[in-house]
Amino acid sequence: MKRQQKEARPLMAIDIIIWDGISMAPKCALEAVEGLLRDIMQSDRPFGGKWLIIVGNDTANDNEGRIHILEKFRCQRSIATEIFGETIDPDDTYFCERAILAPMNLNVRQLNNDALERLCTSCQQDEHVYKSPVEYLNTLEPTGMPPHELLLKKGAIVMLLRNLDVVNGPCNGTRLRVETLGRYVLGCRFVYGSRKSQLAVIPRIDNYWGKQLPFRLRRRQFSLRLAFAMAINKARG
């Protein structure tokens, strides 16, 4: 790969590289990446001046099983406040190509709801939807199934959970920004890639789940999740 090639542009733009399972990688792989980054960035600094975070390197910590983190690297407030500020402008493109990474979906839901509260737009809800006594069903959130309660505002960053149109782009894992809210369809725009700023219409669809349940669960919902924050494994995919 050369600096002039199209494939080198993402590496030039990033600041941090997270390398998981590095203990399984051969030494020559690390040396190859280090040399590639120096060549692309035209810099003699280690890894071309990029930050490299290595995970799974089997490094032992102290006897108490704790790692000391310097105070200047700690969040003194909510991490959503630290990253996004007290309020979020729905027209600000800064958030479209950024996300908070968290290890578990429980953390992701909390962070996304916290970020949604900071959007300077109103939240649309249909109260009559919650009249049926289906509390148990509402707690079920299998992999790939959209949440029962999906709170959205104009300007919210979301991620698709289903392949809607493989040819034209709206696929599982695509990040979008909500532009218009409707009862049956949402108007969203791509936030990155070759289709950036193009409009995508997202309909409500039937989502099914029957594994490990004595019945087949059907949830008619927009196949979306908030994506201000994402699970680490989803971000890698």
138-188 pLDDT, tens digit per residue, is 667 766 677 777 888 899 999 888 888 888 778 888 899 999 998 889 999
Q: Assign 110 a pLDDT band (cuts: 50, 70, 90).
A: confident
- 118, amino acid identity: R
Q: Say if residues 1 and 8 touch (Cβ distance below 8 Å).
A: yes
- What pLDDT score was predicted for residue 129? 45
Q: What's the pLDDT score for residue 130?
A: 42
- What is the structure's pLDDT at 59? 56
The answer to which of 3-7, 56-60, 178-182, 183-187 has the lowest mean pLDDT is 56-60
* Spatial separation of the C-alpha atoms in residues 205 and 66, rounded to whole Å: 46
For the segment 126-131, the average pLDDT, to the nearest whole number, is 47
Q: What does the pLDDT read at residue 56?
A: 66
User: What whole-number distance in Å separates Cα of residue 37 and Cα of residue 48?
Assistant: 5
Across residues 103-108, what is the average pLDDT?
Answer: 78
CA dihedral 195, 196, 197, 200 (to 10 degrees): 50
Contacts of 179 (CB under 8 A, 6+ apart): 154, 187, 188, 189, 199
Tokens of 73: 């690297």
Summarised one tens digit per residue, pLDDT across range 209-230 is 767 767 777 778 888 888 888 8
What's the whole-number average pLDDT of the chain?
78
Place 62 in a pLDDT band, splitting at 50, 70 and 90. Answer: low
How many CB atoms lie under 10 A from the CB of residue 19?
A: 15
Is 99 in a helix, a strand, or coil?
Answer: coil
What pLDDT sits at residue 172?
86
pLDDT in tens, 19-29: 877 777 888 88
Place of tokens 């002039």: 4
Tokens for 192? 């990155």
Average pLDDT over residues 65-74: 72
Q: What percent of the chain has pLDDT over 70?
A: 82
Q: Check whether 123 has a pLDDT greater than 70.
A: no
Both tokens of residue 181?
Answer: 């809210």
Is the pTM of the predicted complex or chain greater than 0.85? no
Distances (CA, A) of 195 to 27, 167, 175, 189: 38, 12, 11, 9
Q: Cα dist. 19→23, 55, 108, 172, 175 in Å?
A: 10, 6, 21, 23, 23
On the question of pLDDT at 132 being above 70, the answer is: no
Q: Which residue has the higher pLDDT, 184 or 72?
A: 184
Residue 237's pLDDT band (cuts 50, 70, 90)? very low
Residue 150: the pLDDT is: 82
